[in-house]
Structures are given as C-alpha cells and as structure tokens.
Structure 1
C-alpha cells in the first residue's frame, strides 16, 4: 500500500525527468563531430531503466553521453580528470553485419608541462 493517498498524489507537483535534472546538455553529434573536455563524472543507475551517463565538462557546459557497449569499453581505463577528445564516427556495421552500432573514438590529451606558458602550447591542433 502506498504511503500517500490517491488524492495526495494527484495534488503533488511534478518535474520532468531528463538530463536537465543533472545540469548537463545531451550530446547528440553528427558523424565526424567531436567533443573536447574533462571527464568529470560517471552517473549510474539513472531513471527507471538504470541508464549510465559519462559527464564531460568542456569548460563552459557539462555534456552527458549515454553509455553503450562501445563507450563502456572505451571509458573502462580512463581516469576521471583526464582531458579527452571524443569523436562520433557514425553508425557502423558489426563484424558479422547483423546489426549497426554507434562508433566512437577517444583520444587522451598528452600531459602538459606544468611550467609551459600558453604560447608554448599548440592550441591550433584542437
């Protein structure tokens, strides 16, 4: 039995459940698009379907990437705090050709010399 009456539940205020509740922007890239940012969090067991999201902070916004088998594998050995370049490669066929999946590549930023100045960094490569 519910701890609330039907009348109490009907009078409650409701809010939508989505990425906005986590102060993130859903990343919905087109093939070839990339996201550069720091891996700051992994949110697990979200919603009724227990979704997992990888949270990337680009310095202005936090983006959520809905996990899938490919992303789970790629993020397996990545330490939080790592700066990443995540590229969406588009839909690819599995080796057997029986299904398609969303393909991504992830690159880690090379360590920056802590004494380097902004003029020393090759920012054009991004």
Structure 2
C-alpha cells in the first residue's frame, strides 16, 4: 500500500523527467541543407538504456545534442572539442547494396 492517498497524489506538483534535466536540446534537421554552426564542446558516451553517443555543439545561445551515426562518427574523429564547426545535413542516402537509408552529414572546420 502506498504512503499517500489517491487524493494527495492527484494534488502533487509534477515536473518532467525525460529531457528536463539536460541543458542540451536535440538537433533534428528536417531538410537537406539544414545546418548548425558552433563550438564542438564534447562527446557524451553511454547515454541511456541503448548506450547512445551524442555530440554537443554550443552555438552561443543554446547547446545542441546530435545523435551519433556511422557517418558522424568518422567525421567527428577529425575535429576536437573547442573547434568551431559547421555541421550540415545532406539528406538521406541509400546504402549501396540494399533498400535501407542513412542520414548523411558533412562537417567543416573554421580556419582560425
């Protein structure tokens, strides 16, 4: 038996737990050409139940999280935290020997 009554629980104040405690917002590009420019600040590994990896970009106003895929994994190996980058979504690309698609991206690094 719970230590609260049904009425007590219904009168409680609730706060979100899903993304409410993260300062980053998920970046979800919709169309080819969508991009984000900012400082690559960190790579977060083993996040959540599926042990996802995220890249964090700070555009000066907001921190954005980008879910890793194989394309991003290989490209982020060529940049380091502190680099200013432009991440561009190139759209979905079909794999060579199948009917599956993946999200394709390009990364450019600022010349400082």
Shorter-chain TM range is 0.7 to 0.9
Structure 1: which 5+ residue stretches go unaligned?
A: 1-5, 112-126
Deviation, 1:103, is 0.2
Residue 58 of structure 2 corresponds to: 57
Residue 29 of structure 1 corresponds to: 29
Aligned residues: 102
Deviation, 1:14, is 8.0
SS of 1:72's equivalent?
helix
Residue 48 of structure 1 corresponds to: 49
SS of 2:33's equivalent?
coil
Structure with higher helix content: 1
Counterparts of 1:1-126 in structure 2, within 5 Å, are: 16-18=17-19, 20-30=20-30, 31-111=32-112
Structure with higher strand content: 2
Alpha-carbon distance in 2 for matches of 1:23, 1:40: 13
SS of 2:21's equivalent?
helix
> What TM-score do you get using the length of structure 2 for normalisation?
0.81
Structure with bigger RCO (C-alpha 8 Å, 6+ apart): 2
> What TM-score do you get using the length of structure 1 for normalisation?
0.72
Residue 114 of structure 1 corresponds to: none
Alpha-carbon distance in 2 for matches of 1:45, 1:22: 15
Structure 2: which 5+ residue stretches go unaligned?
A: 4-8
